Each structure stands twice: as C-alpha cells, then as structure tokens.
Amino acid sequence: MLYGERLQFAMDKRGEALGRAIERKEVASVANRSVQNIGMIITNAKGRDQKLATEAHEAVAAFLKVNSRWLLTGEGQMEANTQVNAPTELTPAAIELAVLFDMIPQSEKLSRAKAFNAASTAIMQELQDASAKK
C-alpha cells in the first residue's frame, strides 16, 4: 500500500470515528499544503510513492490519530499508541537527556523536538532504503 493509500484509509477511518468525512482541505490545512498537493499524493498522480515532508507528515498523523510510522512506512499498527510505557527505572542516559531537556528554554523546546524528530525520521528512511536495496 502506498503512502497516499494509507493516508486516504486513515482519513476514512478517522471520518468514521467522527461521524463525518475528513476532507482533503482539512488535511491540506493541517499539513500546510495545497488541496491539490494532497490530492496528488492520495491518487499517486506522479506514479511514484509521494510522501509529505516530516513536519507536515507528523502533523497529519497526529490530526488523524494514527501511528506516524504506520503512515510513513506501513509498518506497525495503524492506531496511534496512546498508552505511555513509562519505565520503572530510568537509565543514566535517560536521566542525562531529561536534565539536558530541562536546560532548554521553554520557548525552544518545541522547535528542538521537531528537529530531533526530523533527523530521526530521515535516518530511519535511509536505513529502510538501504535495507530494501539488499
């Protein structure tokens, strides 16, 4: 299943849960893209598996309440994991990250988290691409 097909499927499922259709213009607004761009992704207009850029992708996944990884790759469960799997004990590395995170000014926390997410997503995509070539 291509990204656009998963996107349409997620829109349909979220629409069912809300009791109304999720329109392309809503997704376009959340993604800060044009309705035409969303339509081209859904219909695979360019004949290749088009995806939204990281920030737009994450926003749409959150809006549709689906697992970001599933939407991007088709792997894992479609539903977003709403459970928090908090560890019973923090590792030294986790404690260090928490301390560093607390040192970031509140006004910069969101942009830093988005940058970290973008980098992680890009690395994951590169690893998947390399694995697919083997």
Q: What is the pLDDT of residue 32?
A: 93
Can you tell me the distance from the alpha carbon of 14 to that of 22, in angstroms, rounded to the nearest whole number? 7
Per-residue pLDDT tens digits for 49-80: 889 988 899 999 999 999 999 999 999 888 87
Each residue of 17-60: pLDDT tens digit? 889 999 999 999 999 999 999 999 999 888 888 899 888 999 99
Domain-embedded: residue 50: yes
Q: Do the domain assignments include residue 12? A: yes
Q: Which two tokens stand for residue 102?
A: 């607390």
Domain CATH code at residue 46: 1.10.260.40
Q: State the average pLDDT over residues 102-120.
A: 82
Helix axes 3-18, 24-31, angle to 10 degrees: 110
Distance between CA atoms of 130 and 73, rounded to whole angstroms?
14
Which of 55, 25, 50 shows the shortest CA–CA distance to 116?
55
66 and 106 inside one domain: no
Q: Is residue 108 domain-resident? A: yes
- Does a structural domain hold residue 11? yes
- Residue-level pLDDT at 70: 93
Q: What percent of the chain is predicted at pLDDT more than 70?
A: 94
pLDDT of residue 120: 85
- The whole-angstrom separation of Cα 113 and Cα 116 is 5
79 falls within a domain: no
Q: Are residues 7 and 50 in the same domain?
A: yes
Structural domain count of the chain: 2
Q: Which domain holds residue 105?
A: 92-133
Residue at 40: amino acid letter: M
The reply to whether 85 falls in a domain is no
